[in-house]
Amino acid sequence: MRWNRVLLKLSGEALAGPKKTGFDEDTVKEVARQVKVSVDAGVEVGIVTGGGNFWRGRTSSDMDRTRADQIGMLATVMNCIYVSEIFRNAGMRTEILTPFACGTMTKLFSKDLANEYFSQGKVVFFAGGTGHPYFSTDTGIALRAVEMEADVILLAKSIDGVYDSDPAVNPDAKKYDTITIEEVIDKKLAVVDLTASIMCMEHRISMAVFDLNETDGIANAMQGKINGTIVTV
């Protein structure tokens, strides 16, 4: 299995590495090294990052949800600027697109512009989520995957796949090698949030979940070698 265009989701926590907050440069450099293998092989790569290494606004009941989500959107912009620069230092060309204006730091998203960048062999970072509150970065990557007609969404997580229950709580949790998106929704397995799951189901976008910390996990996943769980449609 080989994909031509993939969208990779990196959680904010993943970018923080063992520090749990902010950036861990060695972790991001290793991500860049692995992504470059596929970029050099001609795979078109889009990146979406979470913002949890900076901001978890939904845990606060004392802040207006709209404002909390706006801070979260800006956290993803900061993450994309940082990761983009690490990618550039690794020898890749990058562009950052946002659904709202960020001065000269990013460019405003359009499908045509993103496709032009992909055709030039650039890694395209989709920052800022959907640009609206009440939508997560899960929904953001599902939206961009549909718009950009991606072959698959790759979810690099701190867990090595999809389980029938939380393996941190249940030592007998069963890991799925493959599972349908309908089963994910019915069993409330929360691979991505419900809105993103339904979008992927309706538009037939497959997902693959794998361990970010597995040796060459990203490089292998981008070549269709998934040592995790494939969520089929």
Render 124-170 in DSSP notation, one character per residue: EEE-STTSSTT--HHHHHHHHHHHTT-SEEEEEESSSSEESS-TTT-
Nearest to 161 by CA among 86, 230, 62: 230
The mean pLDDT of 160-187, rounded to a whole number, is 91
Chain centroid offset of residue 85 CA = 17
Put simply, whether the predicted model's pTM sits higher than 0.85 gets the answer yes
Dig out the tokens for 139 from the structure.
Answer: 């929904």
User: What's the rounded Cα separation, in Å, for the pair 54 and 190?
Assistant: 22
The predicted-structure confidence for 113-149, as pLDDT tens digits, reads as follows: 999 999 999 999 999 999 999 998 999 999 999 999 9
In which band, very low, low, confident or very high, does the pLDDT at 214 lie, cut at 50, 70 and 90?
A: confident
